[in-house]
A and B are shown apart, each in its own frame.
Chain A
Amino acid sequence: MSEDARPLGGSVSSHVLTGWGGTAATVADVVQPGSAVEVAEVVRAAGRRGVLPRGLGRSYGDAAQNAGGTVVDLTRHLDGVRLDEASGTVAVGGGASLDALMRSLLPRGWFVPVTPGTRFVSVGGALAADVHGKNHHADGSIGRHVRAAELVIGTGDVVQLGPGDPLLDATLGGLGLTGVLTAATIAVQPVETSWMTVDTVRAPDLDALMAALEAADRSSRYSVGWIDCLARGPGTGRGVVTSGDHARLTDLPASRAENPLAFAPRSLVRVPPAVPTGLLRRSTVAAFNEAWFRRAPRRRTGEVQSIARFFHPLDGVARWNRVYGPAGFVQWQAVVPFTAADVVGEAVHGFAAAGAPAFLAVLKRFGPHGSGHLSFPQAGWTLALDLPVGVPHLAALLDDLDERVAAVGGRVYLAKDARLRPELVPAMYPRLSEWQEVRHRADPSGVFRSDLARRLHL
């Protein structure tokens, strides 16, 4: 209207942004500041629709979108990596990717403390989501390993944060809404090799799968279960548990022991922009799941796998999200306390009955909650799966599951959310008001905004 009187159409710096799920596109002005000082200038010049940091865009939903506002991209300039072997820490720019971090650290015998299912996330994004990995039961989420952080807050000040600082706790899992994380110091772990020793167990149903995961958590540092969400009848919830530890030098065959820290993963294939519609039908996905289930051995121990294969199998397929077609998909990830394990069964049966063409879903046991106010992981079972948005009655199915999850003291993962009912957030995240107070002190005029924050009234 009159405040913005110019012809219709976009401007040069405006970009259409979506999350990894490819849904609910909105437009923002994307800027690429070169330093914390330049970030502060952007924050001070913020317009009415605010500012939001964005990393590599791997949040599934709208967490890294800011319609009509400014989006700060640090991945171009603030991406430095500096290892300090004496203290076992790495100083990184907020825009550095975990992929770059691993390529720099592994050849020198170090590894990140936590990695999610993809290496293509930024450090800022990883902290903003307080990401977890297959070692959550042993090592917690990434926030536990942060030794220091530099944050540009809503006043335009650049502040240094350390463990125990309430603003750091609000930032871990704070979805980028407390400020722009320009740098961090993270504790890293020494490794002898860039390989994993992996055990695999096939489980014929959900009970067996859960029992196998429980056993795996006692014996291994890393564990995960993959569920075939399309199997019905007695095989409902069948799956495969893989667990592992970093391989010692003595675990490697002679051929690999010569260069034990080699790490140069590549994308093998790329999904083309136009995927034929109808590729993802229940029948084709069921066939895929069946083949994958049969391929897994009933039981195998001590297999040596590369880090990329064990942690990031999907990173071998560039732009795999295109498989879901132009309409996109949502990922639903929830956690429920161990005492409410039956909700996992209800969810798995619900998805199986709906015939949702879900590729392998993931089941895992979390350890205790970390210090982040809005951090997702808490002790219990977590289930995650991708669902194309065209699944009939998907909205009602997920709403129903959200209610059950909230009723037993569980929660859904906001960094993956794209459709939660806002009223459920305070129940799922009891520290929400504490987070809001800390955030308000750091950003009294509400500069930091996102589509997710608008949608969920954070």
Chain B
Amino acid sequence: MYSVADLKKGLKITLDGAPYLVIAFDFVKPGKGQALYRTKMRNMINGTILDRTYRSGETFEPASLEERQMEYLYKEGNHYTLMDQQTYEQVIMEEEAMGDAKNYLLENMKVDVLLYGEKAIGITLPNFVNVRVIQTDPWAKGDTSGNDSKPATIETGYVLRVPPFIEENELITIDTRTGEYSTRVKG
């Protein structure tokens, strides 16, 4: 149980049955008056931002969150199935909770899954992943148009900008934090 005195940026609490992350916080108090704790919180499942004001004496349930190492198995419709590396228990994650991670997620990839109770609400990929380019136009030799990048589609269907020398079927490294091309995998 948290009290208002525990409120700070980064605190994770349960509110109306959902986990919230405190993203802004301030203590306000008219000199002679009652203390108020003004917060801005983000729903960790759907991203909604909420403004709430609390008074002294109010309490909060911590959000019971747990991060576990899992392996991504397969996708069916909008559901992604992952398997806990220790218990072999399978967890299904909705596409909505996956965010941008779905663009770089490959079968058998080891990932960290954030669980709220039984529900998978977030996923962290390795910072760099290697993916194969399945479609990109060839580099027109002698192209002097000055373009230093071109679009390429990778095996997940995601399209990003790559340097002109990248060819179809090549492996490239993507920075999953930005979604941008990082390097070409030699091999």
Decide if A and B are genuine partners. no
* B residues in contact (CB < 8 Å) with A: none
